[in-house]
Structure 1
Amino acid sequence: MTLAKTFKIAFFSLLGFGAIHNPAAAQDAPLLAKVPPGTVLTIGDPVTQKALEVSGLDKELTFEVKWANISGGPQTSEAFRAHALDVGSVAEIPSIFANWNNLPVRNIAYRERRDPIANPIYRFGIAPGAGVKTLADFRGKRIAFSPGQAQGTLVLRALHAADLKSSDVTLVELPSTGDVYPKALASKQVDIAPLGTVYIRRYITQYGPDGATLIEHGLRDDPGHLYAPQWVLDDPAKAAALAEYVGLWARATEWVNRNPDLWIKEYYVGQQGLSREDGEYLVKMTGEQIVPADWSDVKKRHQETINLLADELGNKPFDVEQIFDNRFEKLGAAALAKGL
């Protein structure tokens, strides 16, 4: 099966058939200064939900929120299609594929890690005995691959950085959920897999004695976005509520930066059920998250991602401006400038 077909099967099942969708240009109409009474947003952003609750920032919401326990691109896009969600929190990939598959969405907020190379989200796990020490060693190896998700795109970027093509390796399609990748590595079903969160630490703790290793990829993998469907952004009341939420989302991000011990206790241990040690590891791995006031660099990187994925898929590249609503660009940083 070709790489293009792998991507298409994975996404068409969730997003429907269709060619590239060209959403309307970003609205020129200014955002309302206040959220109209009676406005309701359904939000899929569980991490920010907890941060707002623990920090008390949720008390500043002037509209009704219906929280949805939804995260990740495929689940969020599916909820958008069902008109069951107004905004979600994802990495950079979902907005690209949504627009390729007739789901017009736009990014309305962006954050990154201050030192993305020192604090990557993912590291490549190497199976015992695989003999992989650098990205160049990926040639001829079996690599766990999740089409259309951040992990899958990181694999493609790593191959590109090593001057390799997808045809130089064997991409093994596996869902990047739970401990699927660590188990696939330990059982030598694959030689290489991108690992994230506590699974990085646990993989080495559990399988390091058997020869399991990790390597750094040296690439940016840190973009984080809020994105919303065009029809939500076309609603003046909901757009105003989204603007307010972007400001609180940015302030919640900064609150987490400043309160690591409480965040570990309330979120990682209290809500996620992780150990204190796991929570400390994740806080250290994340480092400081920042909310830039200028999207120029992120759009440039986003365009490069669009072009890379379009080349791999055989689809037509599109202008990155299709998937950013510039009315929201400075709102997060402006909210931070006013302080917590």
Structure 2
Amino acid sequence: MTVLAVHLLTGCTETARSAGTDTDLSDSRIPEKASADTTIAVGSPETEVALRLSGQIDKLPFKVKWVRMSGGPQCSEAFRAGELDVCSAAEIPSIHARWTGLDTKLVAAEFRKDPRRHPIYELGIAPGADVDTLEDLRGKKIAYSPGQAQGALVQRILAKAGLTEQDVELVELPSTGDVYPTALGSRQVDAAPLGGVNIKRYVTKYGKDGAKTIAHGLRDDPSHLWVPTESVKDPEKAAAIREFVEFWARAQIWVDEHPKEWIEGYYVKDQGLSREDGEYLVKASGSPDIPADWGPAIERHQETIDLLAEKTGNEPFDAESLYDRRYETVAADAVADGRKDS
């Protein structure tokens, strides 16, 4: 068995069991507008580029300090330091934040309209690993990144395959950059969840040696705007965040409707990818689904919480406590209003 059971979220586990936070803001009124001198720090690089390309960035009615970060680990640290008000993240960081005593809320949710056809991740298989199905993972080495979406996906894949940690060897590796493709290509691990352009690049580079990817068949598409609760407890910041959610939602639709501009402005000029890679990513991502009802999302989030609690020894909790439902319809309403005006 891997050291996962001992070290996943460890160091913090005993504290986390008693440090959970559940601030209820449902009765707190958000002002209609934020004052023009209100400043929020935002870690959502894609949104910054989308607003700039669409011409919306100068229309923000408050001040934004853009921070070039997103995702769980970086944003958690910035939240703790009081240096960030909004972050783009998947569903896992908010769970781990709760277990480590960091009080946060989700204020926007986005999914993919056809998540089975357009998954975020595929399971990369190393050359010679002899894995054709999820059940074939028994006895294999699997790359694992605690506290991130890829880590939770591995746990869900094992559960779907009827396997446990005792049936595999989880190798703790960061999921950043090309760490996973390199680990697969060098046969340091037998399997690893790959996302984005790494899916294409891995097969292109190592396919001649027998590398491949297989579908996991699970929904892996949650994307959120995530905030420290202290930020939405502040009336002025709460109002600015609500307006930012509106701009964020319209930006997602603009990206979907302007693929050529997005490929050139974001993937090529901002990210330094080739136009071919950008076209691949746009085609793979599908269209956004921004729901006005968070109920189904919360139900799926609860399933993830319960699974991870079982695997890590942390206490399960009510997924709804992670969501600030004062913002529930904000993004969807902004999209609907934008389409009426177009």
Task: With the length of structure 2 as denominator, give the TM-score of the two structures.
Answer: 0.96
User: Alignment length, in residue pairs?
Assistant: 337
Q: Secondary structure at the match of 1:338?
A: helix
For residue 16 of structure 1, report the CA deviation from its aligned partner.
Answer: 11
- 8 A contact 2:140–2:191 mirrored in 1: yes
Residue identity in the other structure for 1:197: G
Counterpart residue number, 2:69: 70
Distance, in Å, in 2 between the alignment partners of 1:230 and 1:147 is 23
Matched, 1:186 2:192: no
Counterpart residue number, 1:214: 213
For residue 62 of structure 1, report the CA deviation from its aligned partner.
Answer: 0.5
- 8 A contact 2:145–2:175 mirrored in 1: yes
- 8 A contact 1:20–1:316 mirrored in 2: no
For residue 339 of structure 1, report the CA deviation from its aligned partner.
Answer: 1.4
Counterpart residue number, 2:112: 113
Counterpart residue number, 2:292: 293
Q: Structure 1: 5+ residue runs without aligned partners? A: none
- 8 A contact 2:21–2:102 mirrored in 1: no
Distance 1:17-1:74 versus aligned 2 partners, 3 A rule: farther
Q: Secondary structure at the match of 2:304?
A: helix
Residue identity in the other structure for 1:254: I
Distance, in Å, in 1 between the alignment partners of 2:111 and 2:151 is 19
Counterpart residue number, 2:8: 7
Residue identity in the other structure for 1:82: A
For residue 197 of structure 1, report the CA deviation from its aligned partner.
Answer: 1.1
Distance, in Å, in 2 between the alignment partners of 1:284 and 1:37 is 38
Q: Secondary structure at the match of 2:108?
A: strand
Counterpart residue number, 1:321: 320
For residue 17 of structure 1, report the CA deviation from its aligned partner.
Answer: 4.9
- 8 A contact 1:45–1:88 mirrored in 2: yes
- What is the percent sequence identity of the aligned residues? 54
Counterpart residue number, 2:267: 268
Residue identity in the other structure for 1:4: A
List per-residue Cα deviations over 1:134-172 (Å, max 9, x = no partner). 111111111011111100110100010111111110001
For residue 60 of structure 1, report the CA deviation from its aligned partner.
Answer: 2.2
Q: Over aligned residue pairs, what C-alpha RMSD do you find?
A: 1.4
- 8 A contact 2:144–2:172 mirrored in 1: yes
Task: With the length of structure 1 as denominator, give the TM-score of the two structures.
Answer: 0.96
Counterpart residue number, 1:228: 227
Distance, in Å, in 2 between the alignment partners of 1:314 and 1:57 is 45
Distance, in Å, in 1 between the alignment partners of 2:224 and 2:163 is 29
Residue identity in the other structure for 1:48: T
List per-residue Cα deviations over 1:229-263 (Å, max 9, x = no partner). 11111100000000000011000000000000110
Within a 5 Å distance, the mapping from 1:1-340 to structure 2 comes to: 2-9=3-10, 12=12, 17-18=15-16, 19-339=18-338
Distance, in Å, in 2 between the alignment partners of 1:253 and 1:314 is 37
Distance, in Å, in 1 between the alignment partners of 2:128 and 2:20 is 45
Residue identity in the other structure for 1:283: V
- 8 A contact 2:41–2:66 mirrored in 1: yes
